[in-house]
Chains A and B, each alone.
Chain A
Amino acid sequence: MTAYDQLKIARHPKRLTSRNVIKQLFPDFLELHGDRQFKDDLSIIGGIASFKGHTVTIIAQEKGINTEDKIKHNFGMPHPEGYRKALRLMKQAEKFRRPIITFIDTPGAYPGVGAEARGQAQAIANNLKEMMGLKTPIIVVVLSEGGSGGALAIGVGDVVLMFEHAIYSVLSPEGFASILYKDASRAPEAAELMKITAKDLKALHIIDEIVKEGPGLHENQEIGLTQLSQQLEKQLEVLTKKPAKRLLMSRYEKFRNMGTVLERTSHESTN
């Protein structure tokens, strides 16, 4: 299967969205609304639920299922208020010592006039910084599409899980092709080069575990959801036993080590 085939599965119209995952794995989910500053951005939904003996806070990007629903959820593209709502709920989780589970599914943060005026860049940056310091476990699940900084803004955690057919990238392969080749139709080629699949990202140590989904979440939900449920349970067992200080130390180290550089010894260095 090529990276582009994976991309098509990740965006398959029958693939289940965050709300469906929540409905099935967290039946007592209590949704909470609003950023307390501007409005309630429904491209990110959040709330509290119980799960295998834990009380958890859930933050999830929601794309919507039909046209009307998609518009309501802005196709999963958050405005700054969405990120601020997420941070508000995550701080609340920290206060009450609840682990946090986030679900990533977005083509990216919304590029619009209002979003810019209300500080899209600042909202994303602030989440990256604050999530690094939250004294409670954070488990990130890349459900289908992880697009750019808009995904990462709820993607800083102790453990990053990723569904087998999901993708996660610096920007969409279409955007990549149009920037580098000035030709968006070369997206399949770009998808291959960009290393966007779960397998590739595990090899690059960007994600920790792959959640198997059998034929794919668009055809069979049960396999993937059972797998996810088991992985979440396992991770929560481990993470909730770690003292906060150690948790933060290893979270820092995890992201600190990302990237590949060549370090020359000083006598070799030029200019």
Chain B
Amino acid sequence: MNFLDVHKKQLEAATKKRMDLNLQTPVDIPEGVFVQCSNCQAALYEKVLKKNQHVCPVCQNHFRIDAKTRLEYTVDEGSFEAMFQNILSTNPLHMPGYEEKLIQAQKTTQINEAFVCGKASIVGYPCAIGILDSHFMMGSMGSVVGEKVTRLIEFATKENMPLIIFSASGGARMQEGILSLMQMAKTSAALKRHDDMGGLFISVMTHPTTGGVAASFASLGDYHIAEMSSLIGFAGPRVIKQTIREELPEGFQTAEFQQQSGQVDIVLHRQDIRKTLFQLLKFHQKVLYDSL
């Protein structure tokens, strides 16, 4: 028996022992995919990280996740039906290099714009849900993001469905100039109607929620949920620092700071978001009171 065979036998025995101990979840040998936590530098197995919803088990650092992963952690498996995917960006101001940037972003993210939306259910409760993906041009809002957000709101209003939007955005998309700015008015207008019709809107602010997105639909929820330690604010910290020429206070513009400042209802760990959304949806089941 050569060395390799001995090794193989030992491996098989060890695997069998593990299988016996835990029949339900045989632990595969990790495929050697390590991810380093950007905060505490701990080396983490990708599988462990995924099981922990991309939160570092050592320091609770919340990794940035894409729209697809966010849906996976939030809605009932298989319940998501995408909508408005046929709305695509053009280059209305003929900004040099914009088309190339869009194509590049589409290639790396495998989505066609920064906002993914549709209908889904959370523990059985149906909702209209949208996710801004910060991997796609920093989740910036141009005409398409504004249009899709607006259509999702209008859909929720028409269907009398709860609306949930996860924001993650650097703000307006520079390449579409003033047209991006006007998306702030457009999305806010749609929310005004949703509000007037008694529609529910839960805004979930994740890292980062800033600029034109923070100063429009993301700040117009009936409930504001913020994911732990996310950057939330109107102006970016760099701009503020340049303006006031002073060091910024520690923890400035974090989710926790925004809660202390009265801008956010609840700050949550990623693993508690689905549960809390379920709870809120349940609180909003239509009850008909005789007197109202």
Interface size class of A (residues with CB under 8 A): 35 or more
Does A242 sit at the interface, judged by CB under 8 A?
Answer: no
- Given the known inter-chain contacts A116-B234, A121-B215, please indicate yes or no for A259 contacting B248, CB distance below 8 A: no
Whether the Cβ atoms of A113 and B244 lie closer than 8 Å is yes
Does B88 sit at the interface, judged by CB under 8 A?
Answer: yes
Q: Of B87, B174, B177, B219, which is in contact with the most chain A CB atoms at under 10 Å from its CB?
A: B177
Does A239 sit at the interface, judged by CB under 8 A?
Answer: no
CA distance A109 to B181 in the complex (A): 14
CA distance A196 to B181 in the complex (A): 12
CA distance A119 to B214 in the complex (A): 10
- Given the known inter-chain contacts A116-B252, A195-B93, please indicate yes or no for A260 contacting B179, CB distance below 8 A: yes
In B227-248, the 8 Å CB interface with A consists of 233-236, 239-240, 243-244, 248
Whether the Cβ atoms of B192 and A149 lie closer than 8 Å is no
Whether the Cβ atoms of B189 and A256 lie closer than 8 Å is yes
Select the stretch in B2-10, B44-52, B139-147, B282-290 that faces chain A.
Answer: B139-147
Whether the Cβ atoms of B234 and A120 lie closer than 8 Å is yes
- Given the known inter-chain contacts A193-B93, A261-B147, please indicate yes or no for A168 contacting B178, CB distance below 8 A: yes
Closest to B233 in A: A116
CA distance A118 to B263 in the complex (A): 8
In B92-141, the 8 Å CB interface with A consists of 92-93, 95-96, 110-112
Q: Which of B88, B214, B220 contacts A264 (CB 8 A)?
A: B88
As a 0/1 sequence over residues 141 to 169 of chain A, the CB contacts with chain B under 8 angstroms (1 = contact) are 00000001100110110000000000011
User: How close is B121's CB to chain A, nearest CB, in angstroms?
Assistant: 22
Whether the Cβ atoms of A116 and B235 lie closer than 8 Å is yes
As a 0/1 sequence over residues 159 to 196 of chain B, the CB contacts with chain A under 8 angstroms (1 = contact) are 00000000000001011111111111110111111011
Whether the Cβ atoms of B111 and A258 lie closer than 8 Å is no
Does A194 sit at the interface, judged by CB under 8 A?
Answer: yes
Does B217 sit at the interface, judged by CB under 8 A?
Answer: yes
Contacts of A263 in B (CB 8 A): 86-88
Interface size class of B (residues with CB under 8 A): 35 or more
CA distance A27 to B216 in the complex (A): 36
Contacts of A2 in B (CB 8 A): none
Does A206 sit at the interface, judged by CB under 8 A?
Answer: yes
Whether the Cβ atoms of A256 and B85 lie closer than 8 Å is no
In A230-271, the 8 Å CB interface with B consists of 252, 255-256, 258-266, 268-271
Does A53 sit at the interface, judged by CB under 8 A?
Answer: no
Whether the Cβ atoms of B240 and A193 lie closer than 8 Å is no
CA distance A133 to B90 in the complex (A): 31
Contacts of B193 in A (CB 8 A): 252
Contacts of A119 in B (CB 8 A): 219, 261-263
Whether the Cβ atoms of A194 and B177 lie closer than 8 Å is yes
Whether the Cβ atoms of A259 and B146 lie closer than 8 Å is yes
Q: Which of A120, A125, A155, A256 contacts B216 (CB 8 A)?
A: A125
A-B contact count (CB 8 A): 197
Whether the Cβ atoms of B185 and A261 lie closer than 8 Å is no
In A128-146, the 8 Å CB interface with B consists of 128-130, 132-133
CA distance A118 to B257 in the complex (A): 11
Closest to A206 in B: B178
Does A49 sit at the interface, judged by CB under 8 A?
Answer: no
User: How close is A248's CB to chain B, nearest CB, in angstroms?
Assistant: 9
Does A171 sit at the interface, judged by CB under 8 A?
Answer: yes
Contacts of B263 in A (CB 8 A): 119, 121-122
Contacts of A132 in B (CB 8 A): 185, 188-189, 192
CA distance A116 to B43 in the complex (A): 36
Whether the Cβ atoms of A113 and B248 lie closer than 8 Å is yes
User: How close is A170's CB to chain B, nearest CB, in angstroms?
Assistant: 4
Whether the Cβ atoms of B144 and A261 lie closer than 8 Å is yes
Closest to A265 in B: B86
Does B212 sit at the interface, judged by CB under 8 A?
Answer: yes
Q: Which of A126, A153, A170, A270 contacts B174 (CB 8 A)?
A: A170
Whether the Cβ atoms of A270 and B252 lie closer than 8 Å is no
Closest to B239 in A: A111
Whether the Cβ atoms of A194 and B93 lie closer than 8 Å is yes
The 8 closest A-B pairs by CB, nearest first: A111-B235, A259-B143, A128-B188, A260-B92, A121-B214, A125-B219, A258-B182, A269-B86
Whether the Cβ atoms of B111 and A271 lie closer than 8 Å is yes
User: How close is A151's CB to chain B, nearest CB, in angstroms?
Assistant: 8
CA distance A32 to B144 in the complex (A): 40
